[in-house]
Amino acid sequence: MKTALRRQIYLIDFTLASLLRRPGKNLGLLLVYSLVIFMLASAMLFTQALRTEARLVLADSPEIILQRMLAGRHHLMPQDYLQRIGPIRGVSQVHGRLWGYHFDPAVQANYTLMVPRDRQLQHDQIVIGAGISRSRGLATGDFLSLRAADGRSFSFRVAGLLSSESELVSADLILLSEAAFRRFFSMPDDQYTDLVLSVRNPRELRKIAEKLSLKFPDTRPILRDEILRTYHALFSWRQGILFLLLAGSILAFAIFAWDKASGLSAGERREIGILKAIGWETGELIRMKFWEAVILSTGAFLLGYLAAYLHVFHYSAGLFEPVLKGWSVLYPAFRPLPDIDLLQLATLLFFSVFPYIVATIIPVWRTATADPDQVMR
């Protein structure tokens, strides 16, 4: 046992010496390898963080939202639907939601205007999200003027700011009174944007949704479960443009690594031939190359993962920001939730290390089993 361990240590020593004889090439490979893993791990950590945060934060979103559709488009909900839904068994509460969008040409941003149920606001008061406060330079007591679709100008006083910790859900929100909302959008008193329903027994959600669809064929119920599933599928890093961008880099690296590992240079072939000639066995040569592959691939994985961890959780995935922000002017400032999926990490480790080891060992085996004299020539 001790002899076997000592043997491996000597092999590792020889492997390191061999790697250090070609420092530029091996350091370059290590850096590129680490960079590819860094990009993959960053995308993986960031999307996982976002998915977990969405799952936790939206767990208390409305149980059922009922939207009215007209010619396939979202239409306003008449008030009499409220009364007609009341008798449906299982529905404990139903009320109308008032919310809409407003484009502010001053900062080229879209705001979400909403009437809150948890507070009473005066007709000229608003509470704004941190994103709006930042982009318009507004604080409590300031005034915000918005022009409605009918050309009228409305001036609102900022009565408060929504906390910056909740920017992920409230960055673009403007809360205002129902009277102000209806006047601003010229929305009739007997219309709502949509309806929100609460049910007594969560297990009956689908049944109640089915009853709603039958009773109101021009509506579409959206369940909380569907909301959560949407965000689970969101940012799936296996799909979408992020993966396509990374796929190009991964392919280029795979070709580079395969070329490096499988196409032994003349120097490497001579080295193997000399080692064979002085008595090294094929198994020892393969073990040497195995250690070389393990050192490079595992080292690259650790460096790439650590850099990705710092990038995502200490620098808020700053490198991805230009891609992720899109055209959003009010992109929220938030700190990704550090939820690391060990299975994903293990998968990344496996696919970082195993293929490279295989790509390294196979050509060495071929060379090592050949005649040393032929190899050295």
Partner 1 sequence: MHRPRLLLIVFGLLSSLAVLSLLEARLTMRMMIPELKAMARQVEQLQLTDLALFTEARYTRHLTQADRHSPFQDHPLAFEHFPSGSLVSPPAALRMSE
Give, as ranges, the residues between 307 and 336 that touch partner 1 (CB under 8 A). Answer: 309, 313, 323-324, 326-332, 335
* Structure tokens that stand for 133 in this block: 């406060």
What letter represents residue 24's amino acid? G
* Structure tokens that stand for 189 in this block: 């008193």
Q: Closer CB to partner 1, residue 117 or residue 157? A: 117
Q: Which of 365, 370, 317 is nearest to 48 (CA)?
A: 317
Considering the complex, what minimum distance in angstroms separates the CB of residue 369 from partner 1?
28
Q: Closer CB to partner 1, residue 198 or residue 262? A: 198
Any contact of residue 146 with partner 1 (CB under 8 A)?
no
Considering the complex, what minimum distance in angstroms separates the CB of residue 203 from partner 1?
20
Any contact of residue 350 with partner 1 (CB under 8 A)?
no
Q: Which of residues 206-235 bind partner 1 (CB under 8 A)?
A: 222, 226-227, 230-231, 233-235
Q: How far is the C-alpha of 75 from the C-alpha of 69, rounded, in Å? A: 5
Any contact of residue 101 with partner 1 (CB under 8 A)?
yes
Q: Which of residues 170-189 bind partner 1 (CB under 8 A)?
A: 170-173, 175
Any contact of residue 67 with partner 1 (CB under 8 A)?
yes
Any contact of residue 26 with partner 1 (CB under 8 A)?
no
Q: Closer CB to partner 1, residue 99 or residue 154? A: 99
Any contact of residue 61 with partner 1 (CB under 8 A)?
yes
Do residues 140 and 119 make contact, with C-beta atoms less than 8 angstroms apart?
A: no
Q: Which of residues 238-257 bind partner 1 (CB under 8 A)?
A: 239-242
Q: How far is the C-alpha of 186 from the C-alpha of 181, rounded, in Å? A: 8
Considering the complex, what minimum distance in angstroms separates the CB of residue 298 from partner 1?
7
Instruction: Determine which helix (DSSP H) or strand (DSSP E) holds 175, and give its type and residue range.
Output: strand 173-176
Q: How far is the C-alpha of 352 from the C-alpha of 9, rounded, in Å? A: 24
Q: Closer CB to partner 1, residue 43 or residue 359? A: 43
User: Which ranges in 93-218 belong to alpha helices (H)?
Assistant: 130-136, 167-170, 178-185, 205-215
Number of residues engaging partner 1 in binding (CB under 8 A)? 84
User: Which ranges in the chain belong to alpha helices (H)?
Assistant: 2-20, 23-57, 80-85, 130-136, 167-170, 178-185, 205-215, 224-233, 240-262, 266-277, 282-313, 321-325, 342-368, 372-376
Q: How far is the C-alpha of 148 from the C-alpha of 290, rounded, in Å? A: 70
**Residue in 1, 2, 3, 73 binding partner 1, rule: CB under 8 A:** 73
Phi and psi at residue 321, in whole multiples of 5°? Answer: -55, -45
Of 58-66, 205-213, 268-276, 360-368: span binding partner 1 (CB under 8 A): 58-66
Instruction: Determine which helix (DSSP H) or strand (DSSP E) holds 68, and give its type and residue range.
Output: strand 64-70
CA distances from 185 to 100, 124, 151, 180, 272 (A): 8, 15, 11, 9, 79
**Residue in 80, 118, 150, 189 binding partner 1, rule: CB under 8 A:** 118
Any contact of residue 150 with partner 1 (CB under 8 A)?
no
Q: Which of residues 122-141 bind partner 1 (CB under 8 A)?
A: 129, 131
Of 84-92, 115-123, 251-259, 367-375: span binding partner 1 (CB under 8 A): 115-123
Any contact of residue 93 with partner 1 (CB under 8 A)?
no
Q: Closer CB to partner 1, residue 58 or residue 187? A: 58
Q: Which of 144, 374, 146, 154 is nearest to 277 (CA)?
A: 374
Q: Closer CB to partner 1, residue 194 or residue 271? A: 194
